[in-house]
Structure 1
């Protein structure tokens, strides 16, 4: 089990972690546009592990046609967040070192507090942004990654990528949740462009994690 959460004031939005909120689609952060999609990837532990490693090694972004640049791990130990004991009592958060992994090209796997730059275009629109890894979770049946905007994007907000391996059915599901608040003048006047950009991003992420194009939930 590995969990890490980064807490800092350097992101350019206030609702840090809001992509985890169960009512995101009904009550998104002010002036933001929420989005969510869930796809079945298949079943079994091998599919879960493969999808999880792809997620944390930036495959979703790269296979979506975006360039991942200037990846910089956070210095010092990560904040581990609040966990619970067997009786459901909260355990005080601690700081600890997290083992760093690297892909075949030497790029670090996602870790809390890490910063990176994305460069590219989506549906004819800019996808350039500086991002911070807000949190990473690696549990026996759930692997997730949350990215938040820092600067240089036409929108401000957060993305949650999550792989779940359901114990009851053995099925593996991929969920992406996000909220985008327009920052550029064009996007503020034409909010439909934000939805179009997000829809295309979701489709590309699915191609990256599941080449079979599973049917949306």
Structure 2
């Protein structure tokens, strides 16, 4: 939850991670089969919307943070041990349909990156449940610029860890 109401989104293409990804950013698309059936769908959607996916991937989120909802500002912390960097995001879209659940958040002032990320749990007509992460981003701070391609590899690995968490592995 935000303790600074003055934070602003850092990019103009709000909602673009749900459609055509904009030029001028790195693009990321990662998908995985999570299992099948209603119970798998409900459990994965719950882990996603309640931030358990992020926590299982190694990010810190304050206990008691409400489930994803449009307008919610959340402080993610990533790093190792006591060395943690804050990354503020705002939920800009929530999808709550019978066979698709998820949300999109965008980076706020002070985030190390600039861009947006969408997280989805989808159930196909065959009952197969898939998790999907779609993002566009570019460097937002000097230290992410120095990290170069390593930063993109970390982002891809984190997205894979998100999907592992949705699968319950």
Instruction: Describe the shift of the 1:43–1:14 C-alpha distance in structure 2 as closer, same or farther (beyond 3 A).
Output: same
**Match status 1:148 vs 2:106:** yes
Using the alignment, how far apart are the partners of 1:66 and 1:176 within structure 2? 16
Q: Distance in 2 between matches of 1:195 and 1:108?
A: 29
Partners of 2:11 and 2:166 in 1: how far apart?
28
Which residue pairs with 1:174 in the alignment?
131
**Is the 1:18–1:29 contact (alpha carbons within 8 Å) kept by the matching residues of 2?**
no
Which among 183, 198, 217 is matched to residue 155 of structure 2?
Answer: 198
1:183 to 136, 140, 165: 140
Offset of residue 126 of structure 1: 6.1
Deviation per CA, 1:10-46: give whole Å up to 9, x if none: 211111011011x42xxx342x101001100111111
Q: How many residues align?
A: 161
Deviation at 1:152, TM superposition (A): 2.0
- Is the CA contact 1:137–1:143 (under 8 Å) kept in the aligned structure 2? yes
Q: Does the alignment pair 1:45 with 2:38?
A: yes
Partner Cα distance (1:106, 1:10) in 2: 23
Could you list the runs of 5+ residues in structure 2 that have no partner in the other structure? 1-6
Q: C-alpha offsets along residues 142-186 of structure 1, whole Å, 9 cap, x if unaligned?
A: 00110111022221111100011111x110000000111102224
Whose radius of gyration is greater, 1 or 2? 1
Structure 1 stretches lacking a partner, 5+ long = 1-8, 70-104, 213-217
Q: Which of 44, 56, 61 is the aligned partner of 2:54?
A: 61
The CA RMSD over aligned residues, in Å, is: 2.0
- 1:106–1:127 Cα change, 3 Å: closer
More helix by share: 2
